Structure 1
Amino acid sequence: MKSIKQILSLALPAMVENILQMLMGVVDSYLVAQVGLIAVSGVSVANNIITIYQAVFIALGASCASLIAKAMGEGDEVKTNRFIWDSILVTVLLSLALGLLSLLAGSSMMSLLGTVTSVTEAGSLYLYLVGGGILFLGLMTTFGSVLRAQGKPKVSMNVSLMSNLLNAVLSAMSIYCFHWGIVGVAGATVLSRLIGTVVLWLVMKLDIKSYQISKPFNRDLLHLVFPAAGERLMMRAGDVVIIAIVVKFGTEVVAGNAIGETLTQFNYMPGMGVATATVILVAHSLGAGKKEEIKSLVATSYWISTLLMMVVAATVYFLGSGLTGLFTENSRAVEASVVVLLYSFMGNPITSGTLIYTAVWQGLGKAQLPFYATTFGMWVIRIILGYLLGISLNMGLSGVWLATILDNLFRVIFLYTMYRKNMKTI
């Protein structure tokens, strides 16, 4: 019972925070849609790039939380403090690099995604501003991870809520009152994140005099960050290839697949929240040398994640046709969307396993295994098998999603088997 309460106390705020971060991009797209079709198309494409940045920051945050929680479990205040400052420094350096990339190559990245000139110009403007100010998204993510590792998950959730509400108000004012268009919406997004960053910094109460980084730089952190970030990038890059396969089935199927994926995003929120809790709790127990507690936490995390995900997925699936109808009345698109909802629902227990056991390995400080599993699963199983089933065997979208389930099945079996072996040596 104690482990259930521990998991939920960390997981529920993380779930809410994930939803709020997703909604910020949705709000921006909705308000920009009032400007025109070209504007909303540009912002939507630019947000795909911002989403990649966000995935990297989430991986970084999980790595930071793992090491901080482990140090706290060991009762080492000096190491804990050093990990916090190391995490902040890595976040700043990575954010500056991504910010410069957005400013110097934003237009080129938009063009590579195949957008026409007018959409490229609109999206580039948004990417220059939001991508250029990506530092504040990075710091908010890392600060939130630090607070969760310290047992204060509701703080970052509340600040995210405040930041989203502020963004909605400022963006609406920029569109309806001042008519600033994309510049106003992008500026509101950056400003709201800046304010959120400042609030989190004040809540953390870090003493600048305690600033201390590892020399030479923290190898433990880098050994976690690079594989964790690489795992997310492999997923995102593979998704682009999968879309290229889906395009072969026609525009209506592409639209239906996109609608289905939009709806099924909510299926994964519980699992992602529980995974966030799992990273922290496993790392803390590892630092405290409590092997049996780790086993109990992992098993409990999996069942909580699976149960919550199945409840959400079942709700989305059984309301599928009606929800899809809010987006389109095209029968073939609706049919494709329902295929996505069905396979997502059926594959949820497996997907839950991939989320939880990826988190377990990050908590154990060995993020390389999930990186290897995701790289092989995505690029060898999901993509190749998706092409063979979907196109060569004429199974269409069902073939692509069956390959997705088989990819996740491979990963969960691999990660679970290696976990069982690893626990015998701890």
Structure 2
Amino acid sequence: MESVLNKKDLRNQIVKIASPVLIELLMGTLFGMVDMMMLGRSGDAATTAASIAAVGVTNQLVFLGLALVQSLNIGATTMVARYIGAKREDRIESVVKHVTILTQILLVVPILFIGLGMTDTAMKFFGAHEDTLIIGRDYFRVIASGFIFQAFNFSIFASLRGSGDTKTPMKINIIANLSNVVGNAVLIYGLFGFPRLGVLGAGISTSLSQVIASILLMRVVFNQKNIVHINLKKKFKFDKDIVYNLIKIGLPASGEQLAMRAGMLIFTKIIASLGTVPYATHQICISILNLSFTPGQAFGISASTLVGRSLGEEEPDKAEAYVKMCGKIGAIIATVMGVIFFFFGSAIAALYTDNKEVILGAGAVLKLVAFIQPFQCSQLIISGGLRGAGDTVWTLISTLLGILIIRWICAHVFVIKLGMGLSGAWLAVLIDQSIRWIFISIRFRTNNWKYITIR
């Protein structure tokens, strides 16, 4: 009876943290899909394909920046969770200040320099053709400017999730995303007397929604009653132990994210060589795939928080039990999503565009995406648990092996050598995800992650 109750308690704790994250990510992804659908119906076929491609190119820079922000923030999530488990809440404010300041100095400034000072060069580097440059140049600059607020939001969200508060990020992100969708409709199509701006309107709306989220977050972190807060009257000074923890956890995580973005860049450039229509098809599939990431991400975040807290409490077996339970729940959701993608992929793709060639190509790709689901979800959850323990070296090795080596080799062979087109590229993703899952599962079973310490 005790074990059943323990399992019930574990499940309740997991669902309490994961449910708001899952809702937040699902809503954010669905709103993103609506954005893409709006652009897909904002003009003639050539214009919409170039607009969607412009979003894809811009996302390469934004995702690179956010990947690095997230890698630094993994340290924040881990430390906040550990300090709460160890009853050292007095350390949390310093963590929040460190991660916020370092993010803006080390990561936001370079992204602004690239996005505003090297616009054309950066867009070409990320695979933009001339039609995409003409339509997407201003969009690229506006999104880069909004990164200031987006990075700030990510830093605070990471700290809140480390404390177990996933409801606040959910509420704020839903408000921001709703604002973005309304703003998109108004500025893309020129409603209520506003100019019809197309993809530029989408960029302006997206950046403004990040500003709204930042304002709402400031109200939260300036409230001294919250565990995660900032007191501006208290003088900031660098703490060598917190910096050490951020380097110890964040440096391998940064390497992982750089490897991920480098691998994605190489992968995307291979796909971009197929032309604008296949690239636009790929972007639609990526948008749909992002929906399937949400269960793994949500339960991975839950695993990170609960593993960090359990290790802070010096209960490593409970940490292991949390990860295993997260995996079971995630597997059920991933299976359901796989079935939907396999049988209804073309219908989902048709929501984005009327282009028959794009719909047909996306339908074929989504059948492969269906088989990716169980490997992807399990790998994300176990990796989340390892990161919560501060074990970011092995997630780095897994990513280097999978996306930077296996995926690149397979994509090159399937797309360039064998001429399998977009389906060949996504077959490479399936192979990459399955190998990463095997590697990360082996690491988890060694139990070495249970004994990583922080200062």
**Structure 1-normalised TM-score?**
0.88
Distance in 1 (CA, whole Å) between partners of 2:312 and 2:281 is 47
Distance in 2 (CA, whole Å) between partners of 1:187 and 1:247 is 26
Which of residues 417, 420, 439 is equivalent to 1:414? Answer: 439
Matches within 5 A, 1:181-260: 181=197, 185-204=202-221, 205=223, 206=229, 207-210=231-234, 212-216=236-240, 218-246=243-271, 256-260=281-285
The AA in structure 1 aligned to 2:249 is: L
Q: Where does residue 5 of structure 2 map in the other structure? A: none
> Structure 1 unaligned runs (5+)?
none
Which of residues 1, 18, 29 is equivalent to 2:25? Answer: 18
Q: Aligned pair 1:299/2:324, yes or no?
A: yes
Q: Where does residue 153 of structure 1 map in the other structure? A: 166
Task: Say whether the 8 Å CA contact 2:11–2:325 is kept in structure 1.
Answer: yes
Deviations 1:311-344 (A, max 9, x none): 1221222212322344567776555433322222
Distance 1:307 1:124, change over 3 A: same
Distance 1:265 1:28, change over 3 A: closer
Distance in 2 (CA, whole Å) between partners of 1:240 and 1:91 is 23
- Aligned partner of residue 188 in structure 1, secondary structure: helix
**Structure 2-normalised TM-score?**
0.83
Task: Say whether the 8 Å CA contact 1:343–1:401 is kept in structure 2.
Answer: yes
Equivalent residue pairs, number: 426
Percent identity between matched residues is: 25
Q: Where does residue 309 of structure 1 map in the other structure? A: 334
Q: Aligned pair 1:52/2:64, yes or no?
A: yes
Larger deviation: 364-373 or 106-115?
Answer: 106-115
Q: Aligned pair 1:167/2:180, yes or no?
A: yes
Cα offset, 1:285, TM superposition: 0.8
- Aligned partner of residue 347 in structure 1, secondary structure: helix
Cα offset, 1:135, TM superposition: 1.4
Q: Where does residue 100 of structure 2 map in the other structure? A: 88
Distance in 2 (CA, whole Å) between partners of 1:345 and 1:327 is 19
The AA in structure 2 aligned to 1:214 is: F
Larger deviation: 396-405 or 265-274?
Answer: 396-405
Cα offset, 1:64, TM superposition: 1.6
Task: Say whether the 8 Å CA contact 2:33–2:287 is kept in structure 1.
Answer: no
Distance in 1 (CA, whole Å) between partners of 2:330 and 2:57 is 31
Cα offset, 1:297, TM superposition: 0.6
Distance 1:159 1:211, change over 3 A: farther
The AA in structure 1 aligned to 2:205 is: A
Q: Where does residue 123 of structure 2 map in the other structure? A: 110
Cα offset, 1:383, TM superposition: 1.6
Cα offset, 1:289, TM superposition: 0.7
Larger deviation: 31-40 or 50-59?
Answer: 31-40
- Aligned partner of residue 115 in structure 1, secondary structure: coil
Distance in 1 (CA, whole Å) between partners of 2:56 and 2:380 is 26
Distance in 2 (CA, whole Å) between partners of 1:257 and 1:180 is 26
Deviations 1:9-34 (A, max 9, x none): 22222223234444565555555664
Larger deviation: 126-135 or 23-32?
Answer: 23-32
Task: Say whether the 8 Å CA contact 2:335–2:373 is kept in structure 1.
Answer: yes
Task: Say whether the 8 Å CA contact 1:143–1:200 is kept in structure 2.
Answer: yes
- Aligned partner of residue 118 in structure 2, secondary structure: helix
Distance in 1 (CA, whole Å) between partners of 2:109 and 2:186 is 29
- Aligned partner of residue 214 in structure 1, secondary structure: coil
